[in-house]
Amino acid sequence: MLERLYLDNAATSFPKAPGVYEAMVRYGQDIGASPGRGAYAEAKQGASVLAEGRRLIARLINAPGPDRIVFTLNTSDALNLAIKGVVFHRLRSDPDSRIHVVTTAMDHNSVLRPLNALASLLPGLFRWTRVPVDAMGRVDPGDIQGAITPETALVSVVHASNATGVLQPVADIGAICQKARVPLLVDAAQSLGHVPVDVRAMGIDLLAFPGHKGLLGPLGTGGLFLGPDMDERLDPLREGGTGSRSESDTQPIDMPDKYEPGSHNTVGIAGLNVGVRALLERGLDNIRVHERALIERFVAGMAEIEGVRIVGPSDADQRVAVFGLVFDGLDPHQAAERLERDHGLLTRAGLHCAPGAHESMGTASMGGTVRVSFGLFTTHGDVERTLAGIARVAQVCAVSR
Ligand SMILES: Cc1ncc(COP(=O)(O)O)c(C=O)c1O
């Protein structure tokens, strides 16, 4: 049987770091308790799993402290909390205030849908601007600056595109936002765990991230970093039991309980901790060196194949290892099907929840692209096998035209 090669790390990483699932089984079988809900040893062990997770992630992104990390279900959950939390806080302070958000043409539906939901909930009060990108999918920080008005409550930027892999100049945008005193939200779904992220050096106030992609943790994990004072500018979207301040029937304001009502996915976070520890041990700079080498080889190999092209930058400095491919005369779904059926290559076809990115790159009308995404455990042999499969599909397609 054809050996299967997973090339959809942009959706979720696979495999995970060694030991992730073992840690989850250990937690489920040997500890089991819900943290913060008991004084017995197992409940305290659960609390230390959460505390360790916050410590590890804070170290990874250079956050000022572990309690600035809020656990969420995934990136989308973190983005909803960041976007709606800022807007609801503004509305609570001044119900008549007009609120504006700036985002980019490359952003994901997990940003666009909350923005559109707010626009329909608050007609006349809420609006948002999408800043265009150049032919490579990069935004000009000057255009972000130009889009900021006195009503702007937030700038939201996707760090690395899930459609093309292009990286945005986040540090430059961070400097602009700091000067304009507008908080910067960064969607790090495709960057964290792949490129070094330093929230302080890059001027990031809110960082939404998945636990289940670059951090090598299980599905159902994610988080939001909140910079100093952001908790005073962001309302929670959910209230409920936290195991703390039980005498009060209103939501505590302490971090991170303010945003974490209900029982945690402690089993998932036990696994996530193993993933983040593996990243810290290997070092983000070393991971970037490995992934850059994969990018360079893939780009060079693709340049030699006729009938198929990569959308977005070829320069490894400007991208992560997420590639959108266009096959001449072949629908992306058909191409992905052939890659799987004939070569065992598991890719993803379509618009990848980023219709604006495809419109900007001219790939929306052709049904999107075939997405190939490498991960930390992708080898050079895997890249060669991927190139060979792509070449064969492009060749068969050219012959049948
Ligand atoms: C850029 C980007 N933002 C947000 C998301 C949503 O991530 P999650 O599935 O963790 O909610 C994704 C997922 O693919 C993504 O690529």
Taking only the tens place, the pLDDT of each residue in 6-58 is: 999 999 999 999 999 999 999 999 999 999 767 899 999 999 999 999 999 99
Beta strands in 57-151 (DSSP E): 69-72, 99-104, 126-131
CB 323 within 8 A of CB 298: yes
Q: In what order do the strands lie in the sheet with 369-373?
A: 308-311, 322-327, 369-373, 348-350
Among the residue ranges 223-227, 247-251, 342-346, the one predicted with the least confidence is 247-251
Q: Is the CB of 110 under 6 A from ligand 1?
A: yes
Which residue CA neighbors atom 7 of ligand 1 most closely? 75
Among the residue ranges 34-48, 75-89, 117-131, 334-348, the one predicted with the least confidence is 34-48
Closest CA to 349 of 324, 321, 378, 385: 324
pLDDT per residue as tens digits for the range 237-246: 998 888 888 8
Do residues 173 and 295 both lie within one domain? no
Overall average pLDDT of the 215-234 stretch? 97
Check pLDDT > 90 for residue 382: yes
Q: Could you tell me which residue, 251 or 376, shows the higher pLDDT? A: 376
Do residues 191 and 295 both lie within one domain? no
Q: In what order do the strands lie in the sheet with 222-226?
A: 69-72, 222-226, 206-210, 184-187, 152-158, 99-104, 126-131
The dihedrals phi and psi of 185, each to the nearest 5 degrees, come to: -105, 130
Do residues 133 and 111 both lie within one domain? yes
In the DSSP assignment, the letter for residue 124 is: T
The dihedrals phi and psi of 330, each to the nearest 5 degrees, come to: -135, 125
Q: Is the CB of 210 under 6 A from ligand 1?
A: yes
Task: Give the per-residue pLDDT at 325.
Answer: 97
Number of domains forming the structure of the chain: 2
Which of 237, 266, 281 terminates a domain? The answer is: 281
Q: Which residues pair with 131 in a beta bridge?
A: 104
Distance 353 CA to ligand 1 centre (A): 8
Do residues 385 and 254 both lie within one domain? no
Do residues 380 and 316 both lie within one domain? yes
Do residues 45 and 155 both lie within one domain? yes
Assign residue 239 the CATH number of its domain.
Answer: 3.40.640.10
Which of 238, 261, 281 terminates a domain? The answer is: 281
**Enclosing domain of residue 378:** 5-16+284-399
For residue 254, the tally of other CB atoms under 10 A from its CB is 12
Please measure the distance between the N-terminal and C-terminal CA atoms of the chain and give it in whole angstroms: 29
Do residues 224 and 276 both lie within one domain? yes
Which residue CA neighbors atom 12 of ligand 1 most closely? 189
SS3 state at 131: strand
CA separation, residue 106 to residues 80, 120, 167, 229, 334 (Å)? 17, 22, 10, 28, 25
pLDDT more than 90, % of the chain: 87
Distance 247 CA to ligand 1 centre (A): 37
Overall average pLDDT of the 55-70 stretch? 98
Cα(201)–Cα(199) distance, integer angstroms: 6
Do residues 27 and 11 both lie within one domain? no
Tell me the CB-side half-sphere exposure of residue 296, using CA atoms within 13 A.
7
Closest CA to 290 of 210, 391, 214: 214
Q: Is the CB of 223 under 6 A from ligand 1?
A: no
Task: Give the per-residue pLDDT at 232.
Answer: 94
| H or E, element range at 92 | helix 75-93
SS3 state at 323: strand
Find where tokens 């302080």 sit.
200
| H or E, element range at 79 | helix 75-93
Distance 19 CA to ligand 1 centre (A): 24
Q: Is the CB of 187 under 6 A from ligand 1?
A: yes
List CB contacts of 29: < 8 A, sequence separation 6 or more: none
Assign residue 333 the CATH number of its domain.
Answer: 3.90.1150.10
Task: Give the per-residue pLDDT at 355.
Answer: 86
Check pLDDT > 80 for residue 320: yes
Check pLDDT > 90 for residue 203: yes
CB 103 within 8 A of CB 186: no
Do residues 267 and 366 both lie within one domain? no
Do residues 83 and 106 both lie within one domain? yes
Q: Is the CB of 173 under 6 A from ligand 1?
A: no
Distance 305 CA to ligand 1 centre (A): 30
Which residue CA neighbors atom 2 of ligand 1 most closely? 189
Q: What does pTM read for this prediction?
A: 0.97
Do residues 110 and 173 both lie within one domain? yes
Distance 188 CA to ligand 1 centre (A): 8
